[in-house]
Structure 1
């Protein structure tokens, strides 16, 4: 299953929803697709969808998904990373009235440069190739997520030991 999420930002992300829906309709995507469409005004014709999902249902979809396709909001693509999955990330762009500026483009570029743990899509036409070659691309990327909780606990333990000794 492919899971597509566009988050909860109030501007539509029709470009992503339409592109994946059309690929499914053309038979290019041969596995089930579920979309969380948010405020998008385009309604998928070939995929299951809901506008919004509660957190636990979102987590379930991520767990079940072979591929997660997300907008460039960190909450949406960090969830699959925590599960050891490489997300395909399509940043919202101001030129398509998907956001108020291009901070998602800048953020995705920075994440890709620093961590190289996502598959960024800057041109929606590239989504076809990313889906078709997903397994090969994902195998070539190492998921190196760092748990801030674990790091905090390690540092706290050092401080406590120093205080007690």
Structure 2
């Protein structure tokens, strides 16, 4: 695997294959940092850290935003919480850049990794100014091409870039691994879903009321349901069971373990957590046309999940009771 265009090939850090990675003037003898927004980006990076830095990931500095999920997930790690950087708000990126660069320099970071989203634009582009090598790993959610952050990073030859999809590899992007390669399907076991976990994620400021209304119509009679609603309004909805806005990562993983089936927006974080628990969820992609997300990237991860058989995928308005039965029967194992 060749070095990214325009970067010298000498460094103390290594790529997952063990090849010397491009580092420029990165300081020797430092430590890595892992920067990501909360949700699926952070979940992915906790997995990828072991691939990107097999010998040093436990020494890493973690930089993210403070939420119940991130506080739980970062327990026991060296973490710094920074103000949230909203998608496509350039002024927040510019305001966050000096803070993050000072943090990288003060903490002796020689390599900084990110899966996105906007916070990666505050950390990576100018990292060489503090003798830190920047590496960007595009999200699993971007099967059809780079995200907005990825499109910015690919214009910067000193940012090393990975894609998790072979079809997207080329002069600007290298492919070496995908988290989905670590999961496979086992023989299905027909199951009646008695306990259902419904999650629409916590991404601000987008709600997903369409999914909640449809799930209400297709729930198995008498099911025990836990609803994780995030910022989605539940006004006028009579949701049976327990309703919470958010949970810690530990609580969320416990509820996935307890559930017979998980019905979720097509967010990478929930999807990966389900696979870890040996379960294939029902994924319902948010749609930009309904104001449910900034774009239709959830269709991409949903399509990949369906193609691999690792999820049952349905549009919100097409969700049916048989979809919950089909997903409850699926079993996921380590590949």
More strand per residue: 1 or 2? 2
Max radius of gyration: which structure? 2
| Cα distance, 1:112–1:133 mapped onto 2, change above 3 Å | closer
Aligned equivalent of 2:286, options 74, 92, 110: 92
Cα deviation code 1:80-132 (max 9, x no counterpart): 1111111111111112111111110122112322x221111124322333124
Aligned equivalent of 2:274, options 54, 63, 80: 80
Partner residue of 1:143? Answer: 332
Q: Tell me which of the two structures has the higher relative contact order, counting C-alpha pairs closer than 8 angstroms and 6 or more residues apart.
A: 1
Partner residue of 1:35? Answer: 227
Identify unmatched segments of 5+ residues in structure 1. Answer: 147-165
Identify unmatched segments of 5+ residues in structure 2. Answer: 1-194
**Which whole-Å CA distance do the structure 2 matches of 1:41 and 1:77 have between them?**
23
Is the CA contact 2:228–2:245 (under 8 Å) kept in the aligned structure 1? yes
Show the 5 A alignment for 1:114-153.
Answer: 115-136=308-329, 138=330, 143-146=332-335
**Which whole-Å CA distance do the structure 2 matches of 1:122 and 1:112 have between them?**
12
Is the CA contact 2:266–2:283 (under 8 Å) kept in the aligned structure 1? yes
Is the CA contact 2:215–2:319 (under 8 Å) kept in the aligned structure 1? no
Per the normalisation by structure 2, the TM-score is 0.38
Is the CA contact 2:285–2:316 (under 8 Å) kept in the aligned structure 1? no
Number of residue-to-residue matches in the alignment: 138
Per the normalisation by structure 1, the TM-score is 0.74
**RMSD (Å), alpha carbons:** 2.0
